[in-house]
Amino acid sequence: MWGSLFKIGKCTTRRFAFDASAIANLKVKAAGNSAQNSTQVEAVSAFIWKCAMAASEETHGFTRPSLLSHVVNLRRRTIPPLIENSIGNLISIASAHCKARYDELGLKGLVGQVREGISKINSDFIKKLQGDEQSNVICKSLKMMEEPGSKDGGVDYFGFTSWCKLGFYEADLGLGKPIWVSGVGSTGSVFLNLIILMETRSGDGIEAWVTLDEQEMAILQRDMELLTFTSLDPSPLKLSNIAAVNSPNYRKGYLFPTL
């Protein structure tokens, strides 16, 4: 399945930071005339997806079908909910498929696609996972992701995962709480078209670590709409608390622990 989605090539990773006001504006834009409000993760994910599809269109000269996946934490969706520190990969993968032009759907339409995909990972879905239908449910879920890649051939795949609200900034490994947490290791990502969403230290912003093909990234990072809502690779001190530079950990060189 993944062979039809992941592509091989030279990739590069950039960090796009959304502050609280930018996210609020995106949520308003996504809502339109609807009273239904999107979550921060839904709004940011759909917006990056839209901009990434625009970069792909400029690269290829035409609009390609696009598939988004989002990793979903199952702990809060079971009945009763599992404890947050339950050990194991208690996750499932939601997906959304954009067959129409991204500019026709607009941000509101793309947010709806993301929300619909995630909403399918609900208590009924988990109940089936725990029963005799487990194999059928898993196969059906994975097939929804496999078919676009096998049928369309030229589908673009973008994999999202949100590490927001997982408590990374509360972790103390003996050196104090981290000032800045990275979503990417020192060697970078091994997958193209991977987007990791991390909350900022203040908790009201989101850093998107985006890994794309080098050519598409060159287009993405000059996208004027994207740059209206984000800062490209801003100083971590700007995103956290500038007073943190006075902390003992900063002077010891512990500014950038990666968890």
* Domains of the chain: residue spans and CATH: 9-252 (3.30.559.10)
Phi (first) and psi of residue 79, to 5 degrees: -120, 110
Least confident interval from 6-20, 80-94, 146-160: 146-160
Given a contact cutoff of 8 angstroms between Cβ atoms, the answer to whether 49 and 110 are in contact is yes
The mean pLDDT value for 226-235 works out to: 93
Angle at 236 between CA 30 and CA 210, to 5 degrees: 50
- Which residue has better confidence, 257 or 197? 197
| pLDDT at 80 (0 to 100) | 82
Question: Terminal CA-to-CA distance of the chain, rounded, Å?
Answer: 30
Total residues found in the chain within this entry: 259
Distances (CA, A) of 11 to 144, 161, 189, 198, 250: 26, 18, 8, 20, 31
Q: With 80 as the cut, is the pLDDT of residue 38 above it? A: yes
Given a contact cutoff of 8 angstroms between Cβ atoms, the answer to whether 206 and 164 are in contact is yes
Confidence of residue 39 (pLDDT cuts 50, 70, 90): very high
Alpha helices for 170-253 (secondary structure H): 214-220, 224-229, 236-239, 248-252
The mean pLDDT value for 103-126 works out to: 90
pTM value?
A: 0.85
Distance from C-alpha of 19 to C-alpha of 199, rounded to nearest angstrom: 10
Give residue 217's identity as a one-letter amino acid code.
M
Given a contact cutoff of 8 angstroms between Cβ atoms, the answer to whether 111 and 36 are in contact is no
Residue carrying the six token digits 């598409």 = 216
| pLDDT at 1 (0 to 100) | 52
Distance from C-alpha of 214 to C-alpha of 230, rounded to nearest angstrom: 20
Distance from C-alpha of 85 to C-alpha of 97, rounded to nearest angstrom: 32
Instruction: Name the DSSP letter for residue 254.
Output: -
For 144, the token pair is 């929804």
Predicted confidence (pLDDT) per residue in 178-226, tens digit: 889 887 776 656 678 899 999 998 889 999 999 998 999 999 999 999 9
Distance from C-alpha of 18 to C-alpha of 213, rounded to nearest angstrom: 22
Report the interhelical angle of 40-60 vs 102-119 (nearest 10°): 140
